[in-house]
Structures are given as C-alpha cells and as structure tokens.
C-alpha cells in the first residue's frame, strides 16, 4: 500500500496521497482505492485499531455548523421570541428565548434586549443544523452565555485545531505561561481572558502567529519560544 506523503506535508487539491486500504478524514477522499486531497492542507498519519488513517487538515475553510460545536457569536438582531446570531459562517444562527431565559415565560411579553442586545458577544452550543433551516443555538449549559470580559480574536476556522493543539496542548501552554483562559469556538473565534491586559494582548499576538504559521512543523515549540522572548522583554 504505497503512501506518497509524510506527516506535516502540505497538500494541494487533487494530489495523490496514497493507494490501498486507508481510512480518510478531513479534506481528502477515496477514488478507486486512491487517497486524494480535496484542498490545501496539512497531512496527519496515524493508526487506530488496525486501521491506517490519513487526515488532511485544511488550511482555509468556511465554518459549517455541526450539532455539539461550541461557537462564539455576535447578536445581529433582537426579535420578539428569538435573537439572530452571526457565527462567522455562511449560515446565520437562531437563539430562541427558551434557550436563554432561566424559566418558562411568555417571551412575547418581555423585551429580549434586556437579556442580550445587538452587538453582544456570546458563547453558545449548536443544538441542530441540517441545511434545511438555520442553525439553532443554546446557552443553557455551564460555560455558555454572554461574554462580559476579555479580548475577541478571529482566525480562519481551519486553524482552530492548531490553536487547541494535540489533546489541548496549546491551550495548556497559554495557561501555564501566561495564566490566560482561552475559550475556543469551532467557528474561528476565540475569547482571551486575563486580569493582566499585557498578557491578554500577548496571547492575542501569539494566536495570530499560530494562524500565520499553522503549516509549520514544531509549532508548539515555536510559540513557547515566542512567549518566552516576549515575557523576558517585559521582565527586563
């Protein structure tokens, strides 16, 4: 089963990656037992329960909602019984009043802008999306709701996995070195929260560096060195 790429290689659309029995994930497909790249991306190769897996992580993409995704949204409009939410996607989301209000009530008799107004930023979860109707959101879970502090960063949704890192390694690096909290939306929006505004800004700069260099190998080490150098300058 020949394979023509290595981990961290950059693919181009239509490139032949391998031939034979492989499981594909991400931006790749199988045609006549040939694994072919769909887009520009980074190759990952792994084995799981006897399966050989080739995954292509796209370097640029539009965010398409999936049920269960955590997203960072912006309130676009306040209706009688719901809010319209921008989730950095071709699809505008709907947040029903019943997914916000703490107890059953007649939403038509209250002013929803008292809870969330145009321009407010929220962390939400995608409840459902099937292309036949707008995505439905909820904020009725722990860690969700209106964002009242921190800095908002927007990156290409294709780079979100690199900001999170393998098993959350990059998020942990930010917490350990800067003491900042990252709320990472699958839609390419990230909230950076810290009591130290200088470290909050440094985290923002580092996230944008991750976006620019997502295709580079050894990215975690590069970000660690970047943060160490910036923190040393602050200390000096």
Nearest CA to 174 among 210, 222, 206, 129? 206
Close Cβ partners of 211 (under 8 Å, ≥ 6 residues apart): 155, 156, 159, 162, 163
pLDDT at 234: 67
Q: Which of 83-97, 132-146, 167-181, 205-219 is predicted with the least confidence, judged by mean pLDDT?
A: 205-219
Close Cβ partners of 106 (under 8 Å, ≥ 6 residues apart): none
pLDDT at 1: 72
The structural domains of the chain, ordered by start, are 10-58 (2.40.50.100), 70-146 (2.40.50.140), 151-235 (3.30.1370.10)
Euclidean distance between CA atoms 92 and 74, whole angstroms? 10
User: 119: exposed, middle or buried (C-beta count within 10 Å: 0-12, 13-18, 19+)?
Assistant: exposed
pLDDT at 60: 76
* Cα distances (Å, whole numbers) of residue 168 to 118, 165, 184, 186: 32, 5, 11, 14
Q: CA-based diameter of the chain, in Å?
A: 66
Higher pLDDT, 195 or 233: 195
Flag whether pLDDT at 185 surpasses 80.
yes
88 and 188 Cβ atoms separated by less than 8 Å = yes
pLDDT at 236: 56
The 10s digit of each residue's pLDDT in 114-165 is 999 999 999 999 999 988 889 999 999 999 999 999 999 999 998 999 999 9
Euclidean distance between CA atoms 103 and 205, whole angstroms? 41
Euclidean distance between CA atoms 4 and 36, whole angstroms? 11
In this prediction, residues 217-228 reach a mean pLDDT of 91
Euclidean distance between CA atoms 198 and 29, whole angstroms? 44
């Amino acid at each position: 089963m020949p394979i023509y790429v290595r981990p961290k290689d950059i693919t181009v659309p239509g490139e032949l990656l391998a031939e034979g029995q492989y499981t594909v994930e991400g931006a790749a497909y199988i045609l006549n037992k040939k694994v072919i790249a769909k887009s520009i991306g980074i190759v990952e190769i792994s084995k799981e329960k006897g399966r050989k897996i080739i995954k292509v992580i796209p370097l640029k993409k539009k965010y398409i909602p999936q049920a269960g995704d955590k997203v960072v949204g912006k309130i676009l409009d306040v209706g009688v019984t719901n809010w319209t939410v921008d989730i950095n996607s071709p699809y505008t989301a709907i947040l029903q009043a019943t997914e916000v209000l703490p107890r059953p009530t007649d939403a038509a008799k209250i002013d929803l802008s008292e809870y969330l107004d145009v321009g407010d930023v929220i962390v939400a979860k995608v409840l459902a999306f099937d292309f036949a109707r707008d995505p439905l959101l909820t904020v009725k879970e722990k860690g969700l709701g209106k964002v009242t502090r921190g800095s908002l960063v927007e990156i290409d949704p294709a780079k979100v996995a690199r900001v999170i890192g393998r098993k959350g390694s990059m998020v942990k690096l930010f917490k350990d070195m800067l003491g900042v909290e990252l709320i990472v939306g699958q839609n390419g929006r990230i909230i950076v929260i810290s009591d130290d505004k200088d470290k909050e800004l440094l985290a923002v700069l580092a996230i944008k560096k991750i976006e620019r260099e997502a295709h580079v190998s050894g990215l975690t080490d590069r970000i660690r060195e970047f943060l160490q150098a910036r923190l040393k300058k602050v200390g000096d």
